[in-house]
Structure 1
Amino acid sequence: MILTRTLLALGLVASAAADIPDSKRFDLTEPSYDLFRHKKLADKTVQQSFTFDNVNRRLFVAQRRDGSDMKAGDLSISELDFDGNLLGSMDVLAAGHGVNIGAEPVGEDTYLWTEIDTASSGYGTALTRFKWVDGGVIDSADEDLERIKPIPTMDRGTCTIDPVTRRLITRYQRDSAQNIAVFDLDDAIDRNFTNPLADWPIPDLGGRTNVFQGYAAYGRYIYFLLGESYDASGGELNSEVMSLDLNTGEIVQGPVITRAGSTLEFREPEGMAIYETVAGEVRLFLGFASGKVGDRRCNLFYKNALI
């Protein structure tokens, strides 16, 4: 038992069991609803991910920085209001692909969690945490920038935050295998990663494509988004969602085709996030990019049916 705990702390084996409290999960077969469509971001590239600060009621969307090489890992992060109006932006240089980001409220401020130190693959090899500052720049060339590796042996990784249960979830790669690990957010803030609440290899998701486009977690369950743009799929709508039980590491629903924003031009699935309204309604958000080359737009939809 002591050896197993040691190996878990080092990220060398997946959890044999997890003990995350039970919760409801989203019914992925139920309809999705619009938050907004066709909104401009700070840059003109395809959105990659988004996240909410549920305390300060802020929304952030990550995308590749205009003019940056695809593998340079330079990200532009926009702040929008909930009508989709652009409020500000900042850049994170040599960060990664931006598949997921997380937002942590700290008083009236927001701290963002992103990947950092992009490799030749275009993906970040560690995580970092920084205060949101409109017009600010985070540069991985800064030697004083904190590098965070929840799993010391990970080759690359991204993260999201469950704002309802205050957990940090990281999707990480080790030896070309993708895994999911879950930590108490307060432990993560203290850089205590010795006791993951769960740590599982991601199973074969069984979708029509293997194009991974984002994830979000609420309570006992994590949700995945896969699919391609209409341009890449030849016009086929192949975007899918599914859910995995963090206590067992097994898929419990899906893959389910999502028709959210089916009439959008281009329509590439890009990002997932959890948001809890002021009234206490928890929503699973799905993101899609639309528009033409040189004028990509942001679109957000949500599901709210829990079972």
Structure 2
Amino acid sequence: MITLASAVAPPVLLNSVQLASPVRVGQSLYWEVVGRHWYVCQRDTTTGDQERILVTRFTENGETVDSMHVERAGHGANIGVERTGDAVFLWTDAMPKGHWASALARIPYVPGGTVDASKADEPSSRITFHRPRPSESVYRVSATIDPTRRELVYRWQSNDDPSHEGVGGIDRYALDAVVAGTYTPLATLPFTASGRTLQGYTSLGDHVYTLYGVPKEESRVTCTRWDTGEVVQDVPLTAFPSLSNREPEGLCVYERDGAPATLAFGIASGSVGAHRYHVGRFPHPETNPWVPVALDPAQYEPSSSSYVPQYRIHGDQVHLHFSIDRVDRESLWPSTAKLFRLPMPARPNRTQRLVGVVSGTYVTGQPLTVRMEVTADGWVTLYDDRGLKGWIGADVSFWTC
């Protein structure tokens, strides 16, 4: 179970990214770990088509890769992304009743593509439709995927009312069985009217997590047990408090580098024509494995096999361990030398000072310490004007990510 409350601010994964359309806010998000891409869904309404959604794909650093339109789909309240081999599929709204879906669509992601999620005669190579429950008995359906179990998570209402008055359930299905057209729920978690506006949900292991809130007001996130329906956590989500028109939008599973999975959440901000999207994550639940970091082999090499640069995440601390030397050992270390770059999950929210150690060569009578910094873009950088020679290391350096 992920701990939703934390004594520290949730780490930032994306900050103020521009979606493919600046007119509407982001509605939902999904992190696809193999490709290391974010998929963010927004409504992209037009006069003649009020149910079009637009999915933007970003790199892990928030750089736009491409986007895809899904016409006559629904609200885009949730989204799932399935990777099967080299292929990537979107699970989106389909067959809308009003502005909300009555079925699901599985769509191959095609950069720059457009597909109609209400055309039942589309070839299966472009789209397949799925109705885990008969369309005439459910309303406002949506779905996501728990990648840790490869399960489709399907939310439905038995009444056609806004989510704060919604009554219905959330089902779990084996994803590959649904793809094959078999809809046998592994579990169903019923819900009644909560009085809260739904802004996203996901499943991770034995628990369902749900995000609620409206613009400029308190947002909350809950954790519910699949087996008993017991709400075991219900806490405010206060991340990104200074944003204008702040609105919670989207919740998904987030995992990286073999570390235990946690959750990421989206926050929309700004006004029409200038909307931005922000993503944070909840703290990692435990100490994660050490992860090696690559050096530039033309410039640097580890001083021994025990000192290959590596980091690990412990709660919301990042621990750093390394000792490296210059390949050209006759050259002096220049101040502001960039040593190596850390990946996104290990980067600090702002520049952090680090204290390291040096081999002692050319520093006789001076402290055997060296000053370094790690910047918000991940570069571990040396700052020392003494003309050092020999290895440079950091055994106990850490910061809060």
Q: Does residue 226 of the first structure (1) align with residue 212 of the second (2)?
A: yes
Shift of 1:104: 0.4
Residues 215 and 222 in structure 1, CA contact (< 8 A), matched pair in contact too: yes
CA contact (8 A) 2:262 2:281 kept: yes
Over 3 Å counting, the alpha-carbon distance change for 1:34 and 1:68 in structure 2 is farther
For residues 68 and 80 of structure 1, the distance between their equivalents in structure 2, rounded to whole angstroms, comes to: 28
Count of paired positions: 270
Counterpart pick for 2:130 among 148, 151, 156: 148
CA distance in 2, matches of 1:139, 1:74: 9
1:49-106: CA deviation from partner (whole Å, max 9, x where unpaired):
011222222210000115457x821101000111111110010011011110000001
What is the CA RMSD across the aligned residues, in angstroms?
1.7
**1:13 corresponding residue in structure 2:** none
Are 1:201 and 2:190 counterparts? yes
Larger Rg: 2
Any conservation in 2 of the 1:125–1:155 contact (CA below 8 Å)?
Answer: yes
User: What's the CA shift for 1:204?
Assistant: 4.9
Match among 9, 25, 36 for residue 57 of structure 1: 36
Match of 1:246 in 2: 226
Map of 2:148 onto structure 1 = 164
Would the aligned equivalents of 1:54 and 1:105 in 2 still touch at CA under 8 Å?
no
- In the alignment, is the contact (CA less than 8 A) between 2:120 and 2:129 conserved in 1? no
Report the counterpart of residue 173 of structure 1 in structure 2: 157
The answer to whether residue 273 in structure 2 is matched with residue 283 in structure 1 is no
| Residue among 256, 266, 270 paired with 2:249 | 270
CA distance in 1: counterparts of 2:81 and 2:239, whole angstroms: 24
Tell me the distance in 2 between the aligned counterparts of 1:171 and 1:289: 23
Q: Which residue does the alignment assign to 1:216? A: 202
Task: Find the aligned partners of 2:11 and 2:72 in 1 and give their Cα distance.
Answer: 35
Distance in 1, matches of 2:159 and 2:272, equals 35
Q: How far apart, CA to CA, are the structure 1 residues paired with 2:275 and 2:255?
A: 27
Which residue is 2:63 aligned to? Answer: 85
Give, in whole Å, the separation in 2 of the partners of 1:118 and 1:73: 8
Q: Any idea what the Cα deviations from partners look like across 1:226-251, whole Å, max 9, x if unmatched?
A: 01111xxxxx4x01000110111221
- Name 1:17's counterpart in structure 2: none
Summarize deviations over 1:24-63 as a string: whole Å, max 9, x none. x111112411002111011111000011222222210000
SS state of the match for residue 54, structure 2? strand
Shift of 1:294: 1.2
Letter in 2 for 1:34: V
Query: Where in structure 2 are there 5+ consecutive unaligned residues?
Result: 123-127, 161-166, 287-401
1:81, 1:283 → 2: CA distance? Answer: 19
Counterparts of 2:118 and 2:212 in 1: how far apart (Å)? Answer: 32
Residue identity matched to 2:188: D
Tell me what 1:183 maps to.
173
1:28 is paired with a residue of what secondary structure? Answer: coil
